[in-house]
Structure 1
Amino acid sequence: MFSIEHEFDATVITLVDEGPAPLQEDVVINGFAECVTLEQFDPRTDQVVTITLSPWQLRELAAALDLPEGVYRLKKVADSTQDPE
């Protein structure tokens, strides 16, 4: 299950783990113009862990999800779409 909320300065996506136990904590993704943050509560440390990705890193992550094992570099093309090299 997930939710999407549009706030003043970000789009917030919350991913809820509904798989088999043991379940993981919710993941909150905040999409800002300049970066994307992923937050998840870590019960071992009793703290929220945050990872910050640049827009370029996010594009590379999205591309990597659909590619086989290997080393890749995305290239910019004239119409602003991204293709793996």
Structure 2
Amino acid sequence: MFTIEHDFDATVITLIDEGGDTLQEDITILAFEDCVTLEQIDPLTEEPVRITLSITQLRDLAAALDLPEGSYRIEGKSAKG
């Protein structure tokens, strides 16, 4: 399950784990104009853990989900191995 909200400066997506026996904490994704931030509460410390991806890193991640093992550099709209 997930929710989508549009704030003034970001789109906020929350991923809610409805999986099996070992549920993970919700993940909040904040999509800004120049970066995307992922946040999840660490259950041991109860503190948020934050990862920020540039738009380039996000583009590379999206491409990597559909590619086989290897090393790639994305140039333009095609991936090169």
What TM-score comes out, normalization by structure 2 length?
Answer: 0.96
Alignment partners' CA distance in 2, 1:71 and 1:28: 29
Alignment partners' CA distance in 1, 2:7 and 2:78: 31
1:50 is the counterpart of 2:45 = no
Question: Matched residue of 1:57: which SS?
Answer: helix
Question: Matched residue of 1:66: which SS?
Answer: coil
Please identify runs of 4+ aligned residues in structure 1 that moved more than 2 A.
none
User: Which consecutive residues of structure 1, in runs of 5 or more, have no partner in the other structure?
Assistant: 77-81
Counterpart for residue 29 of structure 1: 29
Counterpart for residue 16 of structure 1: 16
Query: What amino acid maps onto 1:50 in structure 2?
Result: R
Instruction: Note the alpha carbon deviations across 1:32-72, whole angstroms, 9 max, x for none.
Output: 00110000000112210000000000000000001111111
Query: Among the aligned pairs, what percent are the same residue?
Result: 64
Counterpart for residue 79 of structure 1: none
Which residue of the other structure, out of 63, 78, 81, is the alignment partner of 1:83?
Answer: 78
Query: What amino acid maps onto 1:34 in structure 2?
Result: D
Please state how far the C-alpha of 1:21 moved relative to its aligned partner: 1.3
Instruction: Note the alpha carbon deviations across 1:1-52, whole angstroms, 9 max, x for none.
Output: 0011111000000000010011000000000001100000001122100000
Alignment partners' CA distance in 2, 1:68 and 1:74: 14
What TM-score comes out, normalization by structure 1 length?
Answer: 0.91
